[in-house]
Structure 1
Amino acid sequence: IFYTGAAPNQQAIPAVEYLMSEEGGGAERFVLLGTDYVYPRTTNQILKAFLKSKGIADEDIMEEYTPFGFSNYQTIVSNVKKFSTGKKTAVISTINGDSNVPFYRELANQGIDAADIPVMAFSVGEEELRGIDTSLLQGHLAAWNYFMSIKNPTNSEFTKRYKQYALDQNLPNAEKVVTNDPMEATYVGINMWKQAVEQAGTTDVDKVRISMAGQTFDAPSGYTLKMDEENHHLWKPVMIGQIRADGQFDTIFKTPEVIQAQPWSEYIPK
């Protein structure tokens, strides 16, 4: 197995560090809000330990989970509003899929915008924003390792080729297709596998596995990514994006270099 998605230190931890920084608003109180399944609960277990290591008290952490497809956020958002009184507060959202729309709508209904209580999402990207009213989400944040709006020749070619593919294959809404972080990660993985096969001279799994370790690839993100020889996770950049009215992101923070993945977190016991 080779992992091309983000490890906690390549998404969740840097996102919270940004929110705690002066540039990110200096949050002192955090709402961990997610859909009730393994990814949000594990991520929040790590984040709670991290926050406590930074001196954030238990009473300044609110944690809430909702079922898949949940849509009635009135009480939860009201509680978030009350919880935010007196200290700068940020929401870390691992809400999945369709539930994001009623959540952000309820924030707007209760007069909460990104300047008051910023929402940092780990599951909202260009594909999730496509075709919905993004006026409710404008100004809120997302942490990824790639955004479609990144300006560089490699990404221009990547997005151009995918749009042409969508048109050629008559995909639904082909004229409006977008690229996103999981697509870039998959694209990098496939190309690294191709390079490993060519280097090994065979598709034999054991030989390709040896060749795959240490592979590098110039990714659409604008960075040269590397497959770690030991833990089989990609070295990736970290980016914070601010949601625009057109469903794209303005990159407001990015690491100068790729970050070596830590498959588990140093903040909780193994």
Structure 2
Amino acid sequence: MQSNSRQSARQSGAEAGWRVGVLYSRTGVTAATGSEHFYGTVLAIEEINAAGGVDGRLLDPVAYDARSDPDEYHRLASRMLQDDDVTVIFGCSTSSSRKAVLPVIERYNALLWYCSIYEGFEYSPNVIYTGAVPNQNSMQLAAYLLRNHGQRFFLVGADYIYPRESNRIMRDMVEQHGGEIVDEVYLPSDAEPDALDEVVRQINAAQPDVVFSTLIGRGARKFYQLYRERGIDPARIPIASLTMTEGETHMIGPELCGSHIVSASYLNTLNLDGNKRFLKSWRARFGDQPASMWSEMAYNQVHLFALALARTKNLDTAKLVESIHEVEFDSPEGVLRIDPENNHAILTPRIAVCRPDGAFDIVWEGRSPIKPDPYLISYGLAEFWLDGEQA
């Protein structure tokens, strides 16, 4: 645990700016997602600093590339906290990287802002979780698929905690409501094309009603390409995902992604004033590169942090967390708040279908934001059946 004197020294030092850490992977298997997290973070920091910073001081980022390696995440987080006068880190794109840095975050009583969706079943007083948990995306996706696509599901995922837990939850929900899992397959995070091709052949042989994919990174993108190359029609057997968004559809080839499905709290086709402002800033800074939930969630959490910091005027972790529970941000996906019961974001679930141009049409959205339930205490789909509600 970091001593009070050490934390006070850090607060009084570097008066020219508020030192913060930025720790994402811009190389390696999760480079696409990590880079989008990085760009969203950069945009928010630049906006805040252009407006004068917080309490007259600019945000002063220290950024490292963790190269998609959990050990590197741990090493660099330790370096930030021990050597770089950092007590707040925006970082990590996967559960494996978050798990790698959590011990050092807690040891030094620092604050991690984690903006990826994840499998839930975690709480730390030293983490603010701004991505969706299963009761804000998986449950709604299961209900939508069972109602609109059929009972037979094929599950494929990368072999680490997030895909395995997400698939366990999906299996339970599908079987609980009369569906069937025809197969469940796991591959390395950076799976070789031959292994991915074999899974596509298995899907072709099984002829499920839908494929639920928790593959990530380069392997996921190659999987979508092989799917069409092997003649599977997404209009008949779509791939449903929690992670495949606008940035990666353009990397895959938009024409290959039509009819595939995603469950997410943010799509860049949202017709909200906050999203129009965000996209205007995004395009001015990054041009034609599409914004997605990865960049948007990273952007949101920096603005939430700045609002909380404006109240505390110091980086004391406990005071910041208390303040975070009292602020809200008019984000691109709607008003964003953090639940004081568990430090997770209150989010509106949405389901969208990909168009041949790589953008998404929202086909369903929740009536209102849903409180996060990371431990699935209210397990089951009864309250999430879609009742014919359309966007």
Query: Shorter-chain TM-score: which interval?
Result: 0.7 to 0.9
Of 142, 153, 173, 2:273 maps to 153
Quick check: 2:348–2:368 contact (8 Å CA) kept in 1? yes
Of 142, 148, 169, 1:46 maps to 169
Q: Which amino acid aligns with 1:216?
A: E
Residues 69-148 of structure 1: pairs in structure 2 closer than 5 A: 69-70=190-191, 71-72=193-194, 73-84=196-207, 89-148=209-268
Quick check: 2:262–2:353 contact (8 Å CA) kept in 1? yes
Query: How many residues of Structure 1 are paired with residues of Structure 2 in the alignment?
Result: 251
Q: Which amino acid aligns with 2:214?
A: T
Quick check: 2:197–2:226 contact (8 Å CA) kept in 1? yes
* CA–CA distance in structure 2, aligned partners of residues 235 and 133 of structure 1: 33
How big is the shift at 1:161? 0.7
What residue in structure 2 maps to residue 202 of structure 1? 314
Quick check: 2:353–2:361 contact (8 Å CA) kept in 1? yes
Structure 1 unaligned segments of length 5 or more: list them: 167-174
Q: State the 4+ residue runs in structure 1 displaced beyond 6 angstroms.
A: none
Quick check: 1:225–1:236 contact (8 Å CA) kept in 2? yes
Deviations 1:55-81 (A, max 9, x none): 335xx3410011122222333222212
TM-score of the superposed pair, with normalisation by structure 1: 0.86
TM-score of the superposed pair, with normalisation by structure 2: 0.61
* Matched position secondary structure for 1:120: strand
Of 227, 231, 234, 2:342 maps to 231
Quick check: 2:182–2:206 contact (8 Å CA) kept in 1? no
* CA–CA distance in structure 2, aligned partners of residues 81 and 265 of structure 1: 33
How big is the shift at 1:214? 4.1
Structure 2 unaligned segments of length 5 or more: list them: 1-126, 381-391
RMSD: 1.9
Quick check: 2:151–2:178 contact (8 Å CA) kept in 1? no
Of 283, 294, 316, 1:163 maps to 283
Quick check: 2:225–2:252 contact (8 Å CA) kept in 1? no
Higher gyration radius (CA):
2
Sequence identity (%): 27
Decide which moves more: 31-40 or 131-140: 131-140
Is 1:20 the counterpart of 2:126? The answer is no
Quick check: 1:238–1:258 contact (8 Å CA) kept in 2? yes
Deviations 1:163-204 (A, max 9, x none): 2123xxxxxxxx321211122212221122122122234332
How big is the shift at 1:19? 0.4
Deviations 1:81-136 (A, max 9, x none): 2322xxx6111111111123332233223322122111111221112123432211
* CA–CA distance in structure 1, aligned partners of residues 273 and 170 of structure 2: 36
Of 330, 344, 353, 1:242 maps to 353
Is 1:192 the counterpart of 2:324? The answer is no
Quick check: 1:214–1:228 contact (8 Å CA) kept in 2? no
Is 1:265 the counterpart of 2:376? The answer is yes
* CA–CA distance in structure 2, aligned partners of residues 106 and 177 of structure 1: 24
* CA–CA distance in structure 1, aligned partners of residues 197 and 297 of structure 2: 35
* CA–CA distance in structure 1, aligned partners of residues 234 and 250 of structure 2: 20
* CA–CA distance in structure 1, aligned partners of residues 309 and 190 of structure 2: 42
Q: Relative contact order (alpha carbons < 8 A, sep ≥ 6): 1 or 2 greater?
A: 1
Deviations 1:207-237 (A, max 9, x none): 111111143222101x222210110100101
